[in-house]
Amino acid sequence: MAECLCTANLKVIRHAGTYLGDDWTYTITVNGEARVIAGNGKDQEFDPPMTWTVRGGECGGNTTVTIAVKALEDDLFFDDEGSQIKHITVSCPPQGSAPTKLTNEAVRARVVESIGWFSGGIAFVDFVFDVEFRCPD
């Protein structure tokens, strides 16, 4: 039986909450394939989206894709960091069927200011994906 293909498209990174600085690094990992992106603490849109295509599971059966995110704000002495993991499980369509599409799947990292004058400040960093599962012909 054919292997299911999953395409995860990162559309936007959004910031909410208390301001924690402007020197950010984001690490996004989809089924073990990691990429690092620099940021400035402001929302970032990706057009075209940043895309991962991974294989896993059999067509017609349950397939899981794992998206792990880490947001790190670089400080002089102690960096502020938050992370989150999301497992998305769907039934991969059989060969010849339309793909299964999920839109606006968000993975949220909670970042807490760890030390210093602004200790206790909280920021949320949302990584928003469209995810598609399909079986190649």
Per-residue pLDDT tens for 12-44?
Answer: 999 998 766 789 999 999 999 999 999 998 999
Amino acid at 108: R
Largest CA distance in the chain: 59
Helix, strand, coil shares of the chain, percent, nearest 5, are 0, 70, 30
Predicted confidence at residue 115, as pLDDT, reads 63
DSSP summary character for residue 31: T
pLDDT score at 19: 66
pLDDT for residue 4: 95
> Residue 79: its pLDDT value, please?
82
**pTM of the predicted model as reported, rounded to 2 decimal places:** 0.91
Residue 29: C-alpha distances to residues 17, 65, 88, 104, 120 (Å):
24, 10, 13, 17, 27
pLDDT score for 70? 97
Q: What stretches in the chain show pLDDT beneath 70?
A: 1, 19-20, 114-120
Helical segments of 1-136, H only: none
Q: Give the pLDDT score at 78.
A: 75
